[in-house]
Amino acid sequence: MMPARTLAWMLLAAPLLVAASEDVKLDRMPADVRPNDLVSLQRGAQVFANYCLGCHGASYMRYNRLQDLGLSEQQIRDNLILTGAKVGDLMKTGMDSRDSREWFGAPPPDLTVIARSRASGAGSGADWLYSYLRSFYRDPSRPTGWNNTVFPNVGMPHVLWQLQGEQVLKTEVQVIPVGSKGDVEKREVQKLVLGKPGAMKLAEYDRTVADLVNYLSYMSEPARSFRVQLGIYVLLFLGVLLVLAYLIKNEYWKDIH
């Protein structure tokens, strides 16, 4: 059971996190990444297992649920389980919470429903994650050497930096015309620039992040596709039932009307 102190902290912090997210302009998740794209979900699951599961857990998700993505137990065991866990086990991290608190200042959050919890007025949880994972930059003042424009002063290092490369935050001065008398306004704008390229090209990295976010969205509600499909069938059934009920009503009341 979750400790009362932890639950109280989450309830108090949630409005602040949502407010902070709404202050940031989020990039939209690519429209061509579909929730039912099994290839994208499989790639995302692989990235999650290799780069995320070492620190973050998904303690409400079991490995064998990945069979819904078209993977066999043997494929899951060979490619996605990097510890001694069994296929039927929960996807827990091997990191000790005391160590993570010492290294990062706080234990890394569980990612089972992160895609739902990050939704706000600024965009969906998928939009937030897609923007966040592409917004790390080098910051020597931070303990990890990394910072993030979507989540300033985040304690998490950039685990995908070898793929993306190293970005730097630069300040540019924009000159904006004001009025019709030739007046101008100077405004400082911060912009991320790739300082050192990584193993992937920009478009390739963005696609990898989109696949990862697609998997995180799936993990937050694995039954979503089935729920939507079932809802369509139920509505069709109710529509047919409505027609039959109307015909029966007319048959019963035809002598009166």
pLDDT of residue 129: 97
pLDDT of residue 19: 44
pLDDT higher than threshold 60 for residue 6: no
Q: What is the pLDDT of residues 33-42, one digit of tens each?
A: 999 999 999 9
* Long-range CB contact pairs, 201-205, < 8 A, 24+: 205/134, 205/160, 205/163, 205/164
Read off the pLDDT of each residue in 149-166 and give the average, rounded to a whole number. 94
DSSP at 200: S
Q: What is the pLDDT of residues 201-220, one digit of tens each?
A: 999 999 999 999 999 999 99
pLDDT of residue 23: 67
pLDDT higher than threshold 80 for residue 132: yes
pLDDT of residue 181: 72
Q: What is the pLDDT of residues 227-254, one digit of tens each?
A: 888 999 999 999 999 999 999 988 888 8
pLDDT of residue 187: 79
Coarse DSSP helix, strand, coil percentages of the chain, rounded to the nearest 5 percent: 45, 15, 35
Q: What is the 3-state secondary structure (H, E, C) of 33-85?
A: CCCCCHHHHHHHHHHHHHHHCCCCCEEEEEHHHHHHHCCCHHHHHHHCCCCCC
pLDDT of residue 178: 76
pLDDT of residue 177: 78
Task: Label residue 22 by pLDDT band (50, 70, 90).
Answer: low
Q: What is the pLDDT of residues 187-205, one digit of tens each?
A: 778 899 999 999 999 999 9
Q: What is the pLDDT of residues 61-118, one digit of tens each?
A: 999 999 999 999 999 999 999 888 999 999 998 788 788 778 777 788 999 999 999 9
Question: Computed over its alpha carbons, how large is the radius of gyration of the chain?
Answer: 24
pLDDT of residue 15: 44
Q: How far apart are CA 127 and CA 118, in angstroms?
A: 9
pLDDT higher than threshold 70 for residue 16: no
Q: How far apart are CA 97 and CA 90, in angstroms?
A: 17
Q: Nearest Cα to 199, choosing from 157, 165, 167, 168?
A: 165
